[in-house]
Structure 1
Amino acid sequence: MTQQQRLNVVLDLVSERGSISIAEVSEALGVSTATVRRDLNTLAEQRLVTRTHGGASALGSGYELPLQYKIARQADAKMAIAKAVAELIHPGESVGLNGGTTTSEVARVLGRSEQLRPAGDAPGVTIVTNALNIAYEMSVREHIKIVVTGGVPRRQSYELIGPLVAASLRDFTIDTAVLGVDGLSAAFGATTLHEGEAEASRAIAAVARRLVIAADATKLGRSTFARICQLKSIDVLVTDQPLSPELANEFSNAGVDVIVASSR
């Protein structure tokens, strides 16, 4: 079992029981108490649990795991992509994020970044998002200012959708929009599975100076139901594997800069 898998099990236990002891976790996972202590310290540093003498507890009586913090497919790739995206962001910038496992990981990396912490009282980064889970997680980060769009929550993704998304963004200007997608191809551009989510993502992209697509290799060369934007509207693609020569040529012709994230 990897550390990420252990962390998810621990978070599930905390969510279910409210508090856990080191001995309970050690028995449940079949690992040493020293390993459990390190895992609990990691979660406490990420402000996902409160460290207690001999264990850990939930952050409060109303605590609920954001999207249950389930391990995602292509988790290593998405974490590498998130780190590479974060390197594109500078202190004081505003970042638009839609919902999804990759953008959620981007938000976590931004939230943990020491480089983005300002010297004064101004926010290190302003995150504008239609994703309720991202807003919830980032609300505890002192250097992150959160702006949440209007809209109606979609239960499957925790994203706000509908005309209120665009209406609430109308008077904003975002430095960089970072969008997760379900498909990215030369023929159809960036796509997703749900038309409401596509509309919300378009609204975020429309007020951004730069559009970054964060997508692992499983999303490339495929298209899904609802188009977000054409390929030529994208400034940067951050992915985890080199593109095929054909795809690389198509993306280059469309003016898309491609960054391949390292998982090291």
Structure 2
Amino acid sequence: MTQQQRLNELLELVSERGNVSIAEIGEALAISAATARRDLATLADQRLVTRTHGGASALGSGYELPLQYKIARQAEAKVRIAKAAAALVSVSDSVGLNGGTTTSEVARELGRSDRLVRSDGDFGVTIVTNALNIAYELSVRAHVKIVVTGGVSRRQSYELVGPLVSNSLQEMALDVAILGVDGLSVRFGATTLHEGEADVSQQFGRVAKKVVVVADSTKMERTTFARICPLDQLDVLVTDLPVPPELAKALGAAGVEIIIAP
């Protein structure tokens, strides 16, 4: 196991339990106490956990992990979700993608899809994004036309935010917006951790004919700080496991199609 893999698993452990001791870390990750202390020191220096006497505790629920630490979380589920979401895109569609690990997987699926390559050599799909990492990855795909919004970059997520994003998007009409979220609940609908990113997602939703949320099961019945939209402003939810009954009922009442990725 590499150090990055250990750090990812350690963050996952702290997030799940809230508080962990050195002994619990050693048992869960099969590492020595000395290695556990060094890894905790690394995470604490980056302000990702809080050191306690003999262990560590999670930061508040409003804290946002940097994107590189989110990549390993629910990785297999996100790939399956991405494949199912990419199947909703047709040749010549214009697609809005916000930032995040799941939408990054969707972008990869769209980028390598032979189905979206046109025989006449023209662009098979247009991707509009505020995520710098998505734009960078897709820039080498000949069948993908990339449009990047303006805005100010957020270091945590590589997303552009601010009024320049709205100025760009209000001049567009998209076939579909595929949005990653941090929470989905009956009362608050789709939410995310940062108000600037919530505003961008709202703008994507306003200019798209169809709004698709891609979210793994850990996001269900969870609420985070900034609201994107209520459930009735969504058209499709793509997830990896059956949705909890109360939320599934509310989504059905709102007319949202639920797709469970195979």
* TM-score category, normalised to shorter length: 0.7 to 0.9
Counterpart of 1:187? 187
AA matched with 1:171: E
C-alpha distance in 1, partners of 2:84/2:117?
18
Give CA deviations for 1:76-99 in whole Å, capped at 9, x if unaligned. Answer: 000000000011000100100000
Counterpart of 2:164? 164
Please tell me whether the aligned partners of residues 238 and 258 of structure 1 are also in contact (alpha carbons under 8 angstroms): yes
C-alpha distance in 2, partners of 1:122/1:170?
25
AA matched with 2:253: N
Query: What SS does the corresponding residue of 1:137 show, helix, strand or coil?
Result: helix
**Displacement, 1:69?**
9.6
Query: What SS does the corresponding residue of 1:155 show, helix, strand or coil?
Result: coil
Give CA deviations for 1:24-49 in whole Å, capped at 9, x if unaligned. Answer: xxxxxxxxxxxxxxxxxxxxxxxxxx
Query: What SS does the corresponding residue of 2:115 show, helix, strand or coil?
Result: coil
Query: What SS does the corresponding residue of 1:118 show, helix, strand or coil?
Result: coil
Instruction: Give the length in aligned residue pairs.
Output: 198
Alignment of 1:91-110 (within 5 A): 91-110=91-110
C-alpha distance in 2, partners of 1:110/1:176?
13
Please tell me whether the aligned partners of residues 72 and 101 of structure 1 are also in contact (alpha carbons under 8 angstroms): no
Query: Which runs of no fewer than 5 residues in structure 2 stay unpaired?
Result: 6-66
AA matched with 1:187: R
C-alpha distance in 1, partners of 2:71/2:149?
26
In structure 2, do the counterparts of structure 1 residues 71 and 224 end up closer, same or farther at CA, with 3 Å as the change threshold?
A: closer
- TM-score of the aligned structures, taking structure 2 as reference length: 0.73
**Displacement, 1:207?**
0.5
**Displacement, 1:235?**
0.2
Please tell me whether the aligned partners of residues 202 and 229 of structure 1 are also in contact (alpha carbons under 8 angstroms): yes
Please tell me whether the aligned partners of residues 123 and 145 of structure 2 are also in contact (alpha carbons under 8 angstroms): yes
Query: Which runs of no fewer than 5 residues in structure 1 stay unpaired?
Result: 6-66
CA RMSD of aligned residues (A): 1.5
C-alpha distance in 2, partners of 1:72/1:120?
38
C-alpha distance in 2, partners of 1:226/1:208?
21
Please tell me whether the aligned partners of residues 135 and 148 of structure 1 are also in contact (alpha carbons under 8 angstroms): yes
Identity across aligned pairs (percent)?
66
**Displacement, 1:121?**
2.4
- TM-score of the aligned structures, taking structure 1 as reference length: 0.73
Counterpart of 2:230? 230
C-alpha distance in 2, partners of 1:72/1:154?
20
Please tell me whether the aligned partners of residues 78 and 105 of structure 1 are also in contact (alpha carbons under 8 angstroms): yes
**Displacement, 1:248?**
1.3
C-alpha distance in 2, partners of 1:208/1:83?
20
Counterpart of 2:258? 258
Query: What SS does the corresponding residue of 2:128 show, helix, strand or coil?
Result: strand
1:208 and 2:208 aligned = yes
